[in-house]
Amino acid sequence: MKKWLVIIITVVFAEAVSDIFAKEWSLRSHWWIFAIAISGYIITNLFWLYALKNGADLARGAVLFSAGSAILGVMSGLILYKEILTPIQLLGVFLGIISLVLLLWE
């Protein structure tokens, strides 16, 4: 596996963890949860810069990062917070997964 792809996967998971802390902050409003969420987003973006430096294409990498983060965000919302998606929104998630497959196809 290419080094930049491993970094992108790390970035996607770091973003998902940061999103969970951001959601927790929105529910509880504790300053330390806010600090963890912001720190996570900063670290995530530092890894993103590192991925770009190590061969990630901006066009493909940005979509992998965005779609991957969105899919993990949806999964977190459904599993952890019991959020509900409409059928059209589920179609959007499915298309996001298809976009990841097509972007990684070589």
How many domains does one find in the chain? 1
What does the alpha-carbon distance between residue 73 and residue 60 come to, in Å, rounded to a whole number?
20
C-alpha closest to that of 54 among 105, 11, 97: 11
Whether this prediction's pTM lies above 0.75 is answered by yes
The reported pLDDT for the residue numbered 3 is 85
pLDDT at residue 103, as a whole number = 87
What tokens were used for 13? 């998971």
Can you give the pLDDT at residue 83? 95
User: Which segments of the chain have a pLDDT < 50?
Assistant: none
Domain that holds residue 44: 3-104
Q: CA separation (Å) from 25 to 34, 44, 53, 70, 102?
A: 6, 18, 32, 19, 35
**pLDDT for 59:** 87
